[in-house]
């Protein structure tokens, strides 16, 4: 049985959801990321730049299913340049989310739709250009 599924999200577009219970510390999505040089980033088509983040000082391009992990101001996972890991128990059916501000998505300016009690409303991360 698959541990995750991609389906329509109440937060935005498509999201990644737990198909089974995931324990804190478990790897949720492994791989699906590509580290790019600054030159490779400049050569990316504009539509691919939406799936780019700077993590630990590296340009990281997210491929499916990682690119469908939505933001929450109260995330249940934390990403790195190679994987997403649960930071608390995630129940089956729950959407897997990370904090885009902590993930340093460059040039981010987004009205948040996470509906968390601690929602910041507007997310802004300066561009790194």
Mean pLDDT value across residues 25-31: 92
| Residue-wise pLDDT tens digits, 81-123 | 688 999 999 999 999 999 888 876 667 788 898 888 989 988 8
In a domain, 129, yes or no: no
Q: Which H or E run includes 52?
A: strand 52-55
CATH at 10? 2.170.270.10
In a domain, 107, yes or no: yes
How far, in Å, CA of 85 to CA of 100, rounded?
15
In a domain, 82, yes or no: yes
Burial of 60 (0-12, 13-18, 19+ CB in 10 A): buried
In a domain, 73, yes or no: yes
In a domain, 27, yes or no: yes
Specify the higher pLDDT residue, 82 or 7: 7
The total domain count for the chain is 1
- Host domain of residue 116: 4-124
pLDDT at 80: 75
| Residue-wise pLDDT tens digits, 36-90 | 999 999 999 989 988 888 777 788 898 999 999 999 999 999 987 688 999 999 9
């Amino acid at each position: 049985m698959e541990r995750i599924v991609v389906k329509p999200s109440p937060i935005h577009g498509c999201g990644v959801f737990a198909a089974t219970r995931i324990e804190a510390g478990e790897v949720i999505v492994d791989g699906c990321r590509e580290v790019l040089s600054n030159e490779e980033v400049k050569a990316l088509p504009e539509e691919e730049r939406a799936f780019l983040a700077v993590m630990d000082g590296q340009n990281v391009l997210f491929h499916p299913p990682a690119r469908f992990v939505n933001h929450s101001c109260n995330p249940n996972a934390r990403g790195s340049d190679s994987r997403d890991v649960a930071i608390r128990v995630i129940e089956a059916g729950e959407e897997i989310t990370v904090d885009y501000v902590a993930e340093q998505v460059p040039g981010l300016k987004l009205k948040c739709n996470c509906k968390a009690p601690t929602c910041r409303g507007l997310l802004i991360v300066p561009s790194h250009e």
